[in-house]
A and B are shown apart, each in its own frame.
Chain A
Amino acid sequence: MQQAEKQSKPPGALASVLSLFNTSVGRKITTGLTGLGLVAFVVIHLAGNLTLFVGSESFNAYAHKLESLGPLLYVAEIGLIAVFVFHIIFTIAVTAQNKGARASAYAVKGDAGKPSRKSLSSQTMIYTGLVLGAFVVWHVWMFKFGPGLADGYAEVHHGEAYRDLYRLVAESFQNTWITAAYVFVMILLGTHIRHGFWSAFQSLGAYHPRYTPLIYSAGIALAVLLAVGFLALPLYFYFAVPVMPA
Chain B
Amino acid sequence: MNLTLKIWRQPSPQSKGSMETYPIAGVTEHMSFLEMLDVLNEQLIKSGQVPVEFDYDCREGICGTCGLVINGVAHGPKKLTATCQLHMREFKDGDTITIEPWRADAFPVIKDLVVDRSAFDRIVSKGGYISINTGNARDANELPIGKEDADQSFDAATCIGCGACVASCPNASASLFTSAKISQYTYLPQGNPERERRVLKMVQQMDEEGFGNCSNHGECEAACPKGISIKNIAIMRREYVKAALKSGTLLV
Residues on A lying within 8 angstroms of B by beta carbon are 2, 5, 7, 10-14, 16-17, 19-20, 23-29, 94, 97-118, 122-123, 125, 195, 198-199, 202-207, 209, 212
Q: Are A24 and B230 in contact (CB under 8 A)?
A: no
Q: How many residues from B make CB contacts under 8 Å with A?
A: 62
A117 engages B217 (CB within 8 Å): yes
Cβ of B237 < 8 Å from any Cβ of A? Answer: yes
Q: Is the CB of A102 within 8 A of B172?
A: yes
Q: Say which residue of A17, A27, A112 sits within 8 Å of B222 (CB atoms).
A: A112
B241 & A118 in contact (Cβ 8 Å cutoff) = no
Indicate whether B11 reaches chain A with its CB closer than 8 angstroms.
Answer: no
Q: How far is the CA of A101 from the CA of B107 in the complex (A)?
A: 10
Given contacts A16-B248, A112-B73, A116-B222, contact A101 B19 (CB under 8 A): no
User: How long is the Cα–Cα vector from A103 to B16 in the complex, in angstroms?
Assistant: 13
Contacting pair B105 A102 (CB below 8 A): yes
* B73 shortest CB reach to chain A, Å: 4
Q: Known A-B contacts: A11-B200, A202-B230. Give 16 more (CB < 8 A).
A: A10-B201, A23-B203, A23-B207, A24-B206, A98-B213, A101-B173, A101-B211, A104-B103, A107-B8, A112-B74, A122-B217, A204-B237, A205-B241, A206-B234, A207-B235, A212-B231
Q: Is the contact region of chain B dominated by helix, strand, or loop, or is it mixed?
A: mixed
Closest Cβ–Cβ distance, residue B133 to chain A (whole Å): 5
Q: Which residues of A contact B207 (CB under 8 A)?
A: 23-24
Question: How close is B227's CB to chain A, nearest CB, in angstroms?
Answer: 9
**Residue numbers in B under 8 Å from A17 (CB-CB):** 244-245, 248, 250
Q: Which residues of A contact B249 (CB under 8 A)?
A: 13
Contact A29 B241, CB 8 Å, known A98-B212, A116-B222, A203-B216 = yes
